Structure 1
Amino acid sequence: MERPVELVAMENLFSHAAGSDVPEPVDNLDPVICTAVVPGPVARAFMGFTDHTHLWWPMENISVYGPGSYVEFEENLILETADDGRGATWGTIDEWQPPLSFHASWYPGSTAIWSTELRVAFRGVEDGTEVRVVHDGWEGAEDPAGTRAAWEKDWPEVLDRYVRFMGGASD
């Protein structure tokens, strides 16, 4: 018995899916975890991170529009605004627990379709407040390994700038 023409056409239509163009699964991409201690209580550390980001974030190296742009937490979004008014959404906050933590879908320079997961937690320690950044969910990125490698390099710089802003000693 011959197969219907429609079925053969459908097999040909999707035959590329079985080829070598299928991306490899994202396995063994560990979270990027960075911690820093800033002087002062947890509430002050949280506020410095979320209310004053525009004063310490390294916009010259890690931004969509570069120096002169402005980053802020506004409602459930993390936004960058260029000096000419253009805007880019860096993330969508889906869990907000001040002053202890927040969680966001993170996609600066991309779209929510290609988001990763970012959790920042604050806890009191003897010398002030420990800030812990856990960046994960690399399978959501367009280039999982490349995105992870970039943030593994960038998060220490970001936290170092934050620590200096908060009055701590940088590494």
Structure 2
Amino acid sequence: MSSTPDLAPIVAEVIVPVSTTSAFVGFTAQMGEWWDPMLSPEPPTFTGISIDPNGPVASVHGDEEYTWGRVMKWDPIGHYTQEFWLGHPADEATVLDVRFTDAPGGTLVRVVHSGWAEGSEEIREKYTRWGDLLDRYAAHVS
């Protein structure tokens, strides 16, 4: 973990009024339903997101898929982790770690986007809106 503020992990949280399992399914299997199409390789043709629990994560655009991640951990009881390279080269992948824990009124969903390397400050700046994405996610699962 970096101590440089420009490379620190990006953290966002939201509480959703559903069980941890429903929150996990909403975040993973239904990601394409709440993801902002503007954050895809070709917004006008975006039709969803494909996640293989044992492999790639990709934006779906009609018959085309653009891989931008790989699942590292798939635990429907409360933990999802993937390599993440949307908008930057796969060999410079970062890590998206999402935890789902019981909370008053539902489930706390905590996203930690880490693994930023020296020189990735400009790319990192594009990913500081996880809170906005979590708002879309929360509206979807609520």
Work out whether the TM-score is over 0.5: yes
TM superposition outliers: structure 1 runs of 4+ over 3 Å: none
1:1-39 deviation per Cα after TM superposition (whole angstroms, max 9, x unaligned) = xxxxxxxxxxxxxxxxxxxxxxxxx86021100000111
The answer for unaligned runs of 5 or more in structure 1 is 1-25
TM-score (norm 1): 0.74
* Partner residue, 1:18: none
1:44-89 deviation per Cα after TM superposition (whole angstroms, max 9, x unaligned) = 0001111111111111x21112133121212322111212x22211
* Partner residue, 2:135: 160
Instruction: Return the alpha-carbon distance in structure 1 between the equivalents of residues 120 and 88 of structure 2.
Output: 13
Q: Is the 8 A contact 1:88 1:109 kept in 2?
A: no
* Partner residue, 2:124: 148
Instruction: Return the alpha-carbon distance in structure 2 between the equivalents of residues 27 and 126 of structure 1.
Output: 32
Q: Is the 8 A contact 1:52 1:72 kept in 2?
A: no
TM-score (norm 2): 0.88
Cα RMSD (Å): 1.7
Tell me the percent identity: 28
Instruction: Return the alpha-carbon distance in structure 2 between the equivalents of residues 66 and 48 of structure 1.
Output: 21
Quickly say closer, same or farther: Cα 1:155–1:53, change in 2 above 3 A: same
Matches within 5 A, 1:40-79: 40-59=18-37, 61-69=38-46, 70-75=48-53, 76-79=55-58
Instruction: Return the alpha-carbon distance in structure 1 between the equivalents of residues 33 and 112 of structure 2.
Output: 22
Q: Is the 8 A contact 2:88 2:123 kept in 1?
A: no
Larger Rg: 1
